[in-house]
Structure 1
Amino acid sequence: MNIESVDYESTKDAIVRHLQADTKVKRPAFVNREKKLIGFAAYEKGEIVAGINGEIFWNNMHLSLLSVKHSYQGQGLGKALLKKMEEEAMVHSCRMMYVETMSWHAPDFYRRYGFEIVGTLDGYPIEGECQYYMRKWLV
Structure 2
Amino acid sequence: MQKIVEGINAYNLSRVPALSDTWTPLEFIVKNENGDEIAGILAGLGYWNGLDIRILWVEASYRQKGIGTSLLKHVEGIAREKGATVAMLDTFDFQAEDFYLKNEYEVVGEIKNFPKGHKRIYFSKRLSK
Is TM more than 0.5 here? yes
Equivalenced residue count is 126
Which amino acid letter does the alignment assign opposite residue 41 of structure 2?
A: I
Q: Which has the larger radius of gyration?
A: 1
Which amino acid letter does the alignment assign opposite residue 137 of structure 1?
A: R
| Structure 1 pair 108–39 and aligned structure 2 pair: CA distance change class (3 A) | same
Q: Which residue is 2:121 aligned to?
A: 132
1:21 matched to 2:10: yes
Root mean square deviation of aligned Cα: 1.6
Q: Which secondary structure state, in structure 1, belongs to the residue aligned with residue 88 of structure 2?
A: strand
1:113 matched to 2:103: yes
User: Which of these residues, 23, 42, 52, is aligned with residue 62 of structure 1?
Assistant: 52
Scaled by the length of structure 2, the TM-score of the pair is: 0.90
| Unmatched segments (≥5 aa) in structure 2 | none
Runs of 4+ with >2 A deviation: 20-25, 30-33
CA contact (8 A) 1:90 1:138 kept: yes
In the alignment, the residues of structure 2 paired with residue 24 and residue 42 of structure 1 have an alpha-carbon distance, to the nearest angstrom, of: 35
Percent of aligned pairs sharing the same letter: 28
In the alignment, the residues of structure 1 paired with residue 57 and residue 43 of structure 2 have an alpha-carbon distance, to the nearest angstrom, of: 12
Q: Which residue is 1:7 aligned to?
A: none
Once the two structures are superposed, the pairs formed by residues 1-139 of structure 1 within 5 Å of their partners are 12-25=1-14, 27-30=15-18, 34-44=22-32, 45-57=34-46, 58-126=48-116, 128-139=117-128
| Structure 1 pair 34–53 and aligned structure 2 pair: CA distance change class (3 A) | same
In the alignment, the residues of structure 2 paired with residue 119 and residue 66 of structure 1 have an alpha-carbon distance, to the nearest angstrom, of: 19
CA contact (8 A) 1:24 1:31 kept: no
